[in-house]
């Protein structure tokens, strides 16, 4: 595409590798989600493509990494990118803040913007020995350990003053480190920071997560998750009632059809 991205890195020792990796992705980019005729190669392979961004693994110069390419074609997004206010830059800064608050996410390496095309890219470490929990659920039912550890992870995140406006199983990675189950937060451009996460914000986050697992995780398992999140059995009924009210008042596309099928509109 003839793109010449402007590169930002934490360490100057990464600059050349980041430039080569981003250039590789941009040179192979042919359009948005439905126009990009992407083919896996040893140097570049698809991890996940969404409507407005794609996640790609890269392996060049003996080093592996992960690039999230923001290819949102909306005019105001491209304009913001060209003016230097891209989602990649925002994600990079928020990823650094997550690390400062001891909330695990892939390590930040750099970000890049091509001011001509309006494309932007976030470059991080590649965690290739973990999976998104929603994909794990396609293979088997969530275990008690998984639910407990994830509840503790979300609670720790909130206690650290971190909320996530798009909290779902798609935006978390689950894996093992030193024999222990670990989680990493993804899509950090949607993270929100404060001194203390309010109850309203916690309910909003848990509602967002709850409605997206409504049809995949049984009620008793969702209550088990809530128990470990709250760490206080006396509050479970109140919080469960609030989440149930949210589901019925604000059903998204994830739950509206399911509620209809169950005859509980």
- Average pLDDT of the chain to the nearest whole number: 89
Q: Are residues 112 and 220 in the same domain?
A: no
Q: Are residues 41 and 150 in the same domain?
A: no
Range of the domain at 146: 130-261
Q: Which of 99, 124, 149 is the last residue of a domain?
A: 124
| CATH number of the structural domain spanning residue 65 | 3.30.200.20
Q: Are residues 12 and 117 in the same domain?
A: yes
Q: Is residue 108 part of a domain?
A: yes
CB 218 within 8 A of CB 191: no
pLDDT of residue 239: 95
Q: Is residue 118 part of a domain?
A: yes
Q: Is residue 1 part of a domain?
A: no
Pairing of strands 53-60, 63-70: antiparallel
pLDDT in tens, 194-214: 999 999 999 999 999 988 887
| pTM of structure | 0.89
Give the up-direction half-sphere exposure of residue 210: CA atoms within 13 A in the CB hemisphere. Answer: 27
Q: Which of 124, 146, 170 is the last residue of a domain?
A: 124
pLDDT in tens, 8-29: 999 999 999 999 999 999 998 9
pLDDT in tens, 96-149: 999 999 999 999 999 999 888 888 999 999 999 999 988 888 778 888 999 999
pLDDT of residue 256: 63
| CATH number of the structural domain spanning residue 160 | 1.10.510
């Amino acid at each position: 595409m003839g793109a010449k991205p402007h590169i930002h890195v934490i360490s100057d020792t990464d600059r050349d590798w980041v430039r080569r990796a981003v250039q590789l992705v941009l040179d192979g980019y042919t359009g948005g989600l439905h126009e990009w005729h992407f083919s896996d190669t040893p140097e570049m392979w698809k991890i996940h493509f969404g409507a407005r961004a794609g996640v790609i693994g890269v392996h060049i110069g003996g080093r592996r990494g992960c690039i999230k390419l923001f290819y949102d074609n909306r005019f105001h997004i491209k304009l913001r990118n060209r003016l230097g206010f891209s989602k990649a830059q925002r994600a990079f800064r928020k990823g650094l803040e997550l690390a400062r608050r001891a909330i695990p996410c892939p390590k930040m390496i750099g970000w890049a913007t091509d001011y001509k095309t309006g494309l932007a890219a976030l470059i991080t470490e590649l965690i290739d020995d973990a999976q998104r929990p929603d994909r794990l659920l396609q293979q088997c039912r969530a275990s008690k350990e998984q639910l407990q550890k994830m509840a503790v992870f979300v609670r720790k995140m909130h206690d650290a003053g971190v909320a996530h406006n798009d909290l779902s199983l798609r935006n978390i990675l689950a894996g093992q480190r030193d024999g222990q189950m670990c989680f990493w937060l993804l899509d950090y451009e949607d993270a929100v920071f404060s001194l203390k996460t309010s109850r309203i914000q916690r309910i909003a986050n848990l509602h967002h997560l709850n409605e997206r697992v409504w049809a995949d995780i049984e009620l008793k398992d969702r209550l088990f998750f809530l128990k470990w999140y709250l760490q206080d059995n006396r509050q479970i009924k109140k919080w469960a009632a609030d989440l149930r009210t949210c589901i019925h008042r604000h059903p998204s596309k994830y739950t509206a059809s399911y509620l209809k099928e169950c005859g509980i509109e």
